[in-house]
Amino acid sequence: MAKLYFRYGTMNSGKSIEVLRVAHNYEEQGKKVLLFTPSIDDRFGMGMVKSRIGMQKEAIVVDEHLDMRVVAAAERPNCVLVDEAQFLQPYQVKQLIDIVDDLNIPVMAYGLRADFLGQLFPGSSQLLAVADTIEEIKTVCWYCDKKAIMNMRCKDGKPIFHGEQIHIGGNESYIPVCRKCYASKKKIFLETLKGLSL
């Protein structure tokens, strides 16, 4: 019986390398994989999944017009992989459910759980609600040795706590942090803002 998996982690936890590893394992066995990535993430070029260590693979671009279920029904892969799944809309997560339930094809979706303010992304929220299996991909805090669970946005190397939910970036824009370090840096940020306004 196929399942919908949601594998989440902070920035820099190795989600994309895991996507590429799983794709490689299937393909090495002569099995077919469909790899999807949302159109909003164009850091490495449209339709490209790339890890920070340099591995990359072309993917099918998911925009508001693409129906992933239709593509999967036509291609009949052994597995469907989705990178940056936090950027999916709820109706697109429903397409993944249909791939699993109607086509009996396993789907593994990888993404962030929450944004830099600790708010769930629409895609992540929906996946957390409906996935058969939810797994965390772990990494350590940038500032200490605790497990990172938050994404801290930075500008010019300094943490910031304001802005739009979506800002595409990599190590120059985000670092993984634990909740305690996040709170500490946010307190300093707010105190600095308060001092500037006096």
Catalytic residue among 27, 28, 84, 172: 84
The tokens for 191 are 């105190």
Euclidean distance between CA atoms 97 and 99, whole angstroms: 5
Counting other chains too, the contacts that 190-195 makes at CB distance below 8 Å and 24 or more residues apart are 190/161
Length of the chain: 198
Q: Where are the beta strands (DSSP E) in the chain?
A: 4-8, 33-38, 48-50, 56-58, 60-62, 79-82, 107-111, 133-136, 150-155, 158-160, 174-177
Q: Is 64 a catalytic residue?
A: no
Element (H, E) at 20: helix 15-28
Catalytic residues: 84
